[in-house]
Amino acid sequence: MAGTSRWVDAPPGRARHIVVVGASAGGVEALRAFVGALSPGLPAAVVVVLHIPPDAPSALAPILDRSGPLRAVTARHGDVLVPGTIFTAPADNHVLVADGHLHLSRGPRENGHRPALDPLFRSAAADFGEAAIGIVLSGNRDDGTAGASALADRDAPVLVQDLEEALYDGMPSSVLHHVRTARALPAVKLGAAVGELLAEVPAGTPAGDALPAAETVIADGTTEVVGPTPRLAGAEPSGLSCPDCDGVLFRLPGAPAPRFRCRVGHAWSPASLSAQQDEDIDRVLWSALRALAEKAELHRRLGESAAVAGRRETATEYRRRADRAEADAGLLRRLLADDQARHGSGGPSPIG
């Protein structure tokens, strides 16, 4: 998809190429290895998203600043993308690229995360075209797959961390499965690969189909259109509910895999939606177990009071209700124990 980009004549000092990197669980060590292998004169800006809790101040920028030759800073709204600088996403903000600048947004979460990989990758594809490079490192589930596909659609290179090396291979594995042109390398070799690719790729043409651009507007969170998702071309009601707001999820068309957005913009991949449903079911079952235990306790006490008062039939009925609640609670305990055995327990609880 060769062509003339507005970045060919970019103002002096502004990056004509961009490297967008995403990671989740197990990603910090991979990021350190990657940035440690970057060349000091890298002719591109690097923007990094790491899944972190919304209330956790990110120490990623100083970690990466000490890990390699490039300066690393926490991204600020309006920052100009300059070559040789690493920008890291702050907590609870999507980082988007537009007109050679960074935009921070508290738009709808995607795959349960803010910041998320997909919004950054899509915006880089729209703004830089084939002059972008996308990299997905260790992490669970599949955030980054849709964004990597948007990059590949514009002939931008996509790289992932080697699956055997990644502590959690869900995210890089999903990209490899859905993005035909993606390549896997050990984290320490990704830095050299970026240098080689930047020597080959021209400043690309920021263009493409309307869906990724429209989704970038949604992620920006500043659209004045209420409920923009139903207006996306080809979006159809799925019959499923959004875990974040309980609204209807609309299925979005196109590759690499089915994706969903609710009316207000929360986005879900199949794997992320399924995992969140598992968490919701687990929470509901534990709440039901607590309610049954309290019901049994209440009716035991009422039965004891009725027995003391000489109301035998009433006491018997209360004991019967308590026994039934305890039996139901036992069924739930066995169900929860079986679920823990299937999914494992006692291990690390990664973000991802």
> Where do we find the tokens 């988007």?
96
Pairing of strands 259-262, 248-252: antiparallel
The low-confidence residues of the chain, meaning pLDDT below 50, are 1-9, 224-226, 346-352
In a shared domain, residues 100 and 25: yes
Given the residues 5, 24, 105, 238, select the one marked as catalytic: 24
CA gap 65, 235 in Å, rounded: 42
In a shared domain, residues 249 and 316: no
In a shared domain, residues 159 and 255: no
How far apart, in Å, are the Cα atoms of 332 and each of 290, 338, 340? 10, 10, 12
In a shared domain, residues 38 and 173: yes
CA angle 110, 111, 114 (to 5 degrees): 50
The string of DSSP codes covering 163-208 is: TTT-SS-HHHHHHHHH-TT-EEE-HHHHHHHHHHHHHHPPP-----
In a shared domain, residues 194 and 297: no
236: alpha, beta or left? (left if phi > 0; alpha if psi -120 to 50): beta
In a shared domain, residues 164 and 79: yes
| Confidence (pLDDT) at 124 | 96
Residue 58 within any structural domain of the chain = yes
- Is position 24 annotated as part of the catalytic site? yes
| Confidence (pLDDT) at 291 | 96
In a shared domain, residues 123 and 250: no
Tally of domains in the chain: 3
Residue 348 within any structural domain of the chain = no
The identity of residue 119, as a single letter, is P
- Is position 51 annotated as part of the catalytic site? yes
| Confidence (pLDDT) at 88 | 98
In a shared domain, residues 168 and 22: yes
The string of DSSP codes covering 295-308 is: HHHHHHHHHHHHHH
| Confidence (pLDDT) at 4 | 37
In a shared domain, residues 154 and 46: yes
| Confidence (pLDDT) at 144 | 95
In a shared domain, residues 31 and 126: yes
E strand or H helix at 291, and its extent? helix 270-308
285 contact partners, CB below 8 Å, separation of at least 6: 332, 335, 336
| Confidence (pLDDT) at 57 | 81
Dihedral angle over CA of 90, 265, 252, 182, nearest 10? 0
| Confidence (pLDDT) at 317 | 96
| Confidence (pLDDT) at 10 | 55
**Boundary-marking domain end, from 184, 200, 216:** 200
E strand or H helix at 158, and its extent? strand 158-161
Residue 149 within any structural domain of the chain = yes
Given the residues 79, 127, 142, 143, select the one marked as catalytic: 143
Q: Which domain holds residue 328?
A: 272-343
Running DSSP on this structure, what letter comes out for residue 58? P
The token duo for 22 is 């995403």
Bridge partners for 136 per DSSP: 22, 160
- Is position 143 annotated as part of the catalytic site? yes
In a shared domain, residues 149 and 291: no
Given the residues 51, 94, 178, 299, select the one marked as catalytic: 51
Residue pair 113/100 in contact by the 8 Å Cβ criterion: no
In a shared domain, residues 326 and 252: no
Q: Cβ atoms within 10 A of the Cβ of 352, count? A: 23
pTM of the entire predicted model: 0.80
Residue 292 within any structural domain of the chain = yes
